[in-house]
Amino acid sequence: MKDLEKRAQQSANNHSNTSNEQASNSKASYKKPRTLKLTGAGFTAVLAIGGIALASHSAQAVSPLAIVNGITSSGGVGVSKDILYGDEPSQDLDIYYPKPLAKAMKAQTAITDTYPMVVFVYGGSWENGTKEEYAFVGKSLARAGYVTAVINYRKAPEHPYPDYVEDTAKAIAWSYNNAKSLHADPQRMAVMGQSAGAFNAVAAVSNEDFLAPYGIKPSDIKAVVGIAGPYSYDFRKFDSATAFPTDATPDQVMPDRQLKGEQPPYLLLTAENDKIVYDTNTINMTKALKDYGARVEVSEIEGASHATSIGAMAPPLRWLNDVRSQVLTYLDKELK
């Protein structure tokens, strides 16, 4: 924590105590994923008709994330794709199953075990990204024994704050309410996000107003993991201003200023070599949570850049840094 505070002071001197999750000036196009209208009994139907599709890499444009997915073996995990958690575009998710569970579901044998669950929210400056690009995170967590939901959400600028946080809360609620049908335990569920996704995850859980419409409290979530999240910065000074209402202020939208309700425990990670999101965000978020009475653990991912703080969740890239080890050690402690 002392190292974080020292680096935060340096960042404050150079950046006027602000931080940034920057979107490129020429924004990447967002291709809406194919959706299947599966709800309730429809979810059962996809298993009965299509069986369990083993996670695999499909053809797509070459990108760093495509390469990560291409080198990440499924490890025998299963996946059910394009499940709707809402009625709006991009309100869908993929569910990844640990290998023993996938085998039992495929064989249609009796399943008596339940598994802990993680809901993962990807980043992308609130404007870019798809759940398919982060399949490697779903596979990685499923290989470690977690039923994992990798969610999509509506994007800015068409859908500025709070739309993407509301979508995240809706996906969390869907996962919580459907956990038992996925052979997961809703009482052992965590929410995890990286970059803009960490903002979404922390914002959706730490302010009870987002989960309240679904009858869920922040304390119903057993752990929150935020990786390199922009929780506390003046977005008006950066390109990411397009992700927020034009008349909004940081005090109205930043998660470190919107805490409400009994809080779950948090793990907040920063990347040592992050040039995108400064660690002042995590320091400010940590202070706010601790002042509110929450239990918070903070750590730095040595040698990690903003990109590799999530890329190294892929088992073949574990040599880059220890983010996967830190995340799994924490989740195992809180959920298993």
Q: Considering the domain boundaries, does residue 17 fall inside one?
A: no
pLDDT in tens, 223-247: 999 999 999 999 999 999 999 999 9
Cα 329 to Cα 66: distance, rounded to the nearest angstrom: 27
Whether residue 225 is contained in a domain is answered as yes
Q: What are the Cα distances from residue 139, in Å, to 21, 134, 202, 242?
A: 26, 9, 22, 32
Average pLDDT of the segment spanning 84-109: 95
38-92 confidence digits (pLDDT tens): 233 223 223 222 223 333 333 334 577 877 776 676 789 999 999 999 999 999 9
Tell me whether residue 25 is in a domain. Answer: no
Q: For residue range 134-148, list pLDDT tens digits in order.
A: 999 999 999 999 999
Beta partners for 225? 192, 267
The amino acid at 231: Y
Q: What is the mean pLDDT of residues 197-212?
A: 98
Query: Where is average pLDDT lowest: 8-12, 100-104, 264-268?
Result: 8-12
Helix 280-292 vs helix 2-15: angle between axes, to the nearest 10 degrees?
120
Evaluate whether residue 13 is within a structural domain: no
Tokens of 133: 């690009």
Q: What is the CATH number of the domain that holds 203?
A: 3.40.50.1820
Phi, then psi, of 81 in degrees rounded to 5: -110, 155
CA 260/CA 256 separation, integer angstroms: 10
Find, among 279, 278, 128, 288, the residue nearest to 207 by Cα. Answer: 288
pTM above 0.85, yes or no: no
Mean pLDDT to the nearest integer, 25-37: 31
Q: How far is CA 59 from the centre of its chain?
A: 24
Among 211, 193, 215, residue whose Cα is nearest residue 285: 193
Residue 10 lies in a domain: no
Range with the lowest mean pLDDT among 29-33, 101-105, 266-270? 29-33
Task: Tell me how far apart the alpha carbons of residues 244 and 264 are, in angstroms, rounded to a whole number.
Answer: 26
Residue 21 has pLDDT above 60, yes or no: no
Across 3-11, average pLDDT: 45
User: What distance in Å separates the CA atoms of residue 198 and residue 115, rounded to the nearest whole number?
Assistant: 23
Specify if 307 maps to a domain.
yes
Q: Which residues form the domain of 132?
A: 32-335
Structural domain total, the chain: 1
| 9 domain-assigned | no
Residue 276 belongs to some domain of the structure: yes
Residues 175, 170: Cα–Cα separation, whole Å: 9
Specify burial of residue 40 (Cβ count, 10 A radius: 0-12, 13-18, 19+): exposed
Q: Are 191 and 159 in contact (CB under 8 A)?
A: no
pLDDT value of position 62:
55
> Residue 321: which of 306, 336, 335 has the closest Cα?
306
